[in-house]
Structure 1
Amino acid sequence: MPDLQSTVDAIAAEMAARPDRGDVATYIPELGRVDPGQFGIAVALADGRVVAAGDAEMTFSIQSVSKVFTLTLALGLAGDRLWNRVGREPSGSRFNSIVQLEHERGVPRNPFINAGAIVVTDHILSGHQPKEALGEILRFLRFLAGDETILIDRAVAASEERTGFNNRALANFMKGNGVLDNPVDPVLGVYFHHCAIAMTARQLAKAGSFLAHRGRHPETGFSVVTPERARRINAIMLTCGHYDGSGEFAYRVGLPGKSGVGGGILAIVPGKASIAVWSPGLDAAGNSHLGRIALEKLTARMGWSIFGGEGDAASR
């Protein structure tokens, strides 16, 4: 098997040289100011080592990657009762589409599209003040990453609150259909702020490690979730983690993954590693363009696809 550090270094160099970088998410003004020339990759292994290259120490807004962690928290609070309020099926639609909500009486298709993540946030908020709910989410991420410096990017959160009209439409429609328990404004406040959490690729890879190791934190041995729940979260990441690009991601990369419009992707190699990539330019589906290409190359060269097989992705 190829050496992981040299493989990661080579992929970072290849990504740095590519002219096709995608387009930054200008509909959130703060994200539109990010330099699309950046690329970082980090691979967290079972023994606690992190193999990294490129801009792996640069902080970025994790955006919808946070939905993996809020889903984990909400399942811890509600268990399978959560699935009475949100589905588990791929959407086949844009991440902020309201069309399916109309057809399905306000029940979101899955917890990773915006509407579904707003329902998950509503569940975490119940019985708490917004600051308490946000504090719980931040504490969870800091514990998983082993890093108390992780913060919310207040400028990004404010930018989302000023321009999040589509998300307000989704939340109001669900509230009108009795799907949300709490008032719309505090739910959206918590939602916008957890999407604005800023992390490095290194921190994000470490935070996702429990999903690669049957729900257990590899460094502390702490059981974050049961093996069954880790498997099910990974399954939803595989089928729903990239919105209407989820099938293409599974086809090309072959790993459970979750993207965010900040350009980050968290991908899981069950039993082996947690991977975080970041490149701010997005493809047409709202997923990191170079991030997906880098993961395709990494899984091919390391033989890490859950569907088996090896070989350089560039040769196919």
Structure 2
Amino acid sequence: MNAVTLRQLEYFLAVADLGSVTAAARRCHVSPGGISLALTELETSLGAQLMLRRKAKGAALTPAGHWVADRARSIVADADELQFAAQRLQGELVGPLKIGCFGSLSPWLLPRIIEHFARKHPAVDIELTEGSSDLLQQMLLDGELDIGLMYSLHINTEMEQTTIAPVRLQLLLSPDHPLAAQKEIALRDLGDSPAALLGLQPARDLAENQLRNAGFEPHIKWRSTNVETIRSLVARGLAYSVLMGRPLGDRTYEGLPLAYRRIKDDLPDNAVVAAHPRGTTPSQKVRALLNYCQDEFTRDRSPVQ
């Protein structure tokens, strides 16, 4: 029997996953003929038909093919892990790093994190999940994420927290708003003006409760999960908002100006944090992420302060 190669198994699994020699060829960056030859050689080596290949109908696994596919996945995964182990012995960070990030923080944090790892740790494969803090915390507890970036006030589960940067809620107005002439504004002065608030949880409830704690019932006219939608509504004079982030330039995607003002009311302390389930030990990749974030964003006065 001729030796079975890892390359043959990888090509075979690509066809098994995608159901098509042509699609597998695109994934593996080889010609369809190269995929077909590898499959033929594999079947010859094993003495069994692994796939039914039909023109215009793709490829389907035979019972023997299903059996081989299960074992091939384990073999390929072990080979990958062996490669990772060799790199680890040389002191290199390798493998997947699954990062979750609260949606409104993503544009400020993730590009710089990804660039840092691409330059300093190119063998790390960063996988991103963006969403609400509630979703991210559940994914952390389920073992689907290595680390979650969110606001400390959003955390409602048993999480270890590493502070990345302190933040404070800010009032966002159109420059033409009557209150925009003031440097510091009490929330109650907003009265029944229409508001546009972030719809992601738990940010939504926290913002609304903060407004109510100021002694008035806010007139919430719009909610959106997209911060730029909110900023654009405010810039057009249609509403005010309360937000944590402040991108450079104080302008919307359309180029319209915005006015950020300090809130006079007492506000609870808040911070951007990196969270992971209590009792778990951060990996070397996670520790490298934490070290970078604390160095980069603690001294960064523009996006999150």
**Relative contact order, higher structure (CA 8 A, sep 6+):** 1
Higher helix content, 1 or 2: 1
TM-score by length of 1: 0.22
Which is greater in Rg?
2
Higher strand share: 2
